[in-house]
């Protein structure tokens, strides 16, 4: 919401597209933004409004479009005081293209748009308004946001204030919240239901419904000859993550599968926000992007709760204590960390490995420092890969995250999993 407010105040702003997977809260956010910060809002859902779909197909003359929007709204749309919302914009490619002309010919009007990124990223028939729009990425709730949704703000405030004595005294509370988050995840509808009812079985049913809606989206927006490949990749992700070496292998999708056959299908899932690709770097050096290996990558799902639903992870595993994070060879812990890192702005995430099996789970850049991040699923802090990496590259900062307490030993920072969102504040760069 704060980023939307900043966008509203900005001079020379362009129409804004909110990106994110289906059911991640885009519609609610746009409507709430309009309700709180504008005198009036006009909301157009192109999936439901055939009249406006047809209206945009005639031509993209902005004056004519604004006249039609006035008539649809039932009031005169005033620049700056009215928010124009285009939802499910993938259902009307011409509306997406019109954002270019609004930017060029009527920049005084505030427009936000959203839709299934399957459609937005790959719509056909007209051109994407390259350079004429801005983007805002929306992700599932992070762990800290989840705790706040459950009314546990005081624990998050202690973490942000770095009150390590308090945190240590309430460690079991933090770990209990963390286990719940790893099961429930951060999809808004799921979190809302859990906050209201504390019902793990209902959580799983809602998660499965969300997964079904994603899979229906495949057949709706993806060319028929690609749908099967997308579904195979989607269903293989939990298997990919359960391997010791989590590098994505096309042969796991289907025996004998080749990258050439499946890379387009993989791009569909990435573009629509359902998966995150984390690429390997060949060398931990600056500029880090220059050493990206485009042929080697790991794939994670958009939400840890949905991962549990895909793998049928039983709610009773939460009662196992911290061994919960060992599930699927530590995949739960690694998925969790990646999901939190994605919510931190301007933080590209990579990984590093050698042919001998040595692998650093994540590599990030903090300031001018390239920082290895080793994820441990338990309190056992032996990390051969991190030791090897530190001996070979001598990084100024290294991070190890686990269920152990916070500790700094010279250049090595042990950060609890439930504090990983605070890594910038915890690590002096």
pLDDT of residue 317: 78
pLDDT for position 383: 72
How does pLDDT run across 254-298, given as a tens digit for each residue?
998 999 999 989 998 998 889 999 999 999 999 998 999 999 999
pLDDT score of 122: 53
**Which DSSP helix (H) or strand (E) runs through 362?**
strand 359-366
Please tell me the predicted confidence (pLDDT) of residue 379. Answer: 64
Q: List, for the chain, all residue ranges whose pLDDT scores fall below the cut of 50.
A: 123-125
Return the domain boundaries, the chain. Answer: 2-137, 143-426
- Looking at residue 224, its pLDDT comes to 83
What pLDDT, on the 0 to 100 scale, is given for residue 175?
93
pLDDT recorded at residue 352: 97
pLDDT, tens digit, 9 for 90 and up, residues 18-64: 999 989 999 999 999 999 999 999 999 999 999 999 999 999 999 99
Find where tokens 């569909």 sit.
Answer: 268
pLDDT given at position 86 = 98
CATH number of 2-137: 3.40.50.300
What does the pLDDT read at residue 134?
A: 95
Q: What is the pLDDT of residue 310?
A: 92
Give the model's pLDDT for residue 277.
95
| Sign of the four-CA dihedral 105, 107, 112, 114 | positive
């Amino acid at each position: 919401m704060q980023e939307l407010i900043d966008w509203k105040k900005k001079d020379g702003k362009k129409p804004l597209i909110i990106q994110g997977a289906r059911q991640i809260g885009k519609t609610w956010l746009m409507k709430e933004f309009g309700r709180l910060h504008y005198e009036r809002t006009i909301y157009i859902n192109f999936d439901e409004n055939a009249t406006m779909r047809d209206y945009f197909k005639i031509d993209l003359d902005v004056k004519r479009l604004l006249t039609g929007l006035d008539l649809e709204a039932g009031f005169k749309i005033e620049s700056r005081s009215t928010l124009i919302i285009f939802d499910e914009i993938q259902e009307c490619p011409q509306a997406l293209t019109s954002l270019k002309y609004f930017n060029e010919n009527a920049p005084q009007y505030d427009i936000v748009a959203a839709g299934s990124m399957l459609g937005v990223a790959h719509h056909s028939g007209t051109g994407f308004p390259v350079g004429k729009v801005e983007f805002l990425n929306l992700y599932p709730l992070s762990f800290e946001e989840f705790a706040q949704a459950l009314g546990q703000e005081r624990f998050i405030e202690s973490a942000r204030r770095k009150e390590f004595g308090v945190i240590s005294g309430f460690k079991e509370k933090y770990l209990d919240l963390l286990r719940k988050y790893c099961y429930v995840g951060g999809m808004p509808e799921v979190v809302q239901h859990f906050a209201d009812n504390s019902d793990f079985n209902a959580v799983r049913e809602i998660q499965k419904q969300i997964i079904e809606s994603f899979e229906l989206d495949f057949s709706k927006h993806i060319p028929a000859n690609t749908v099967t490949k997308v579904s195979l990749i989607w269903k293989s992700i939990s298997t990919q993550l359960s391997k010791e070496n989590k590098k994505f292998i096309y042969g796991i999708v289907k025996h004998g599968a080749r990258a050439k056959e499946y890379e387009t299908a993989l791009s569909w899932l990435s573009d629509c926000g359902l998966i995150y690709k984390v690429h390997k770097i060949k060398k931990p050096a600056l500029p880090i992007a220059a050493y990206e290996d485009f042929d080697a990558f790991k794939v994670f799902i958009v939400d840890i709760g949905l991962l549990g639903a895909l793998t049928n992870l039983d709610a009773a595993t939460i009662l196992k204590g911290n061994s919960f994070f060992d599930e699927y060879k530590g995949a739960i812990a690694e998925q969790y960390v990646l999901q939190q890192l994605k919510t931190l702005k301007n933080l590209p995430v990579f990984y590093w490995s050698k042919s001998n099996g040595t692998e650093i789970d994540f590599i990030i850049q903090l300031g001018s420092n390239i920082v290895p991040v080793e994820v441990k699923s338990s309190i056992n802090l032996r990390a051969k890969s991190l030791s090897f990496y530190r001996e070979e590259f001598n990084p100024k900062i290294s991070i190890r995250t686990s269920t152990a307490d916070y500790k700094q030993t010279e250049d090595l920072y042990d950060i609890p999993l439930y504090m990983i969102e605070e890594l910038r504040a915890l690590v002096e760069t």
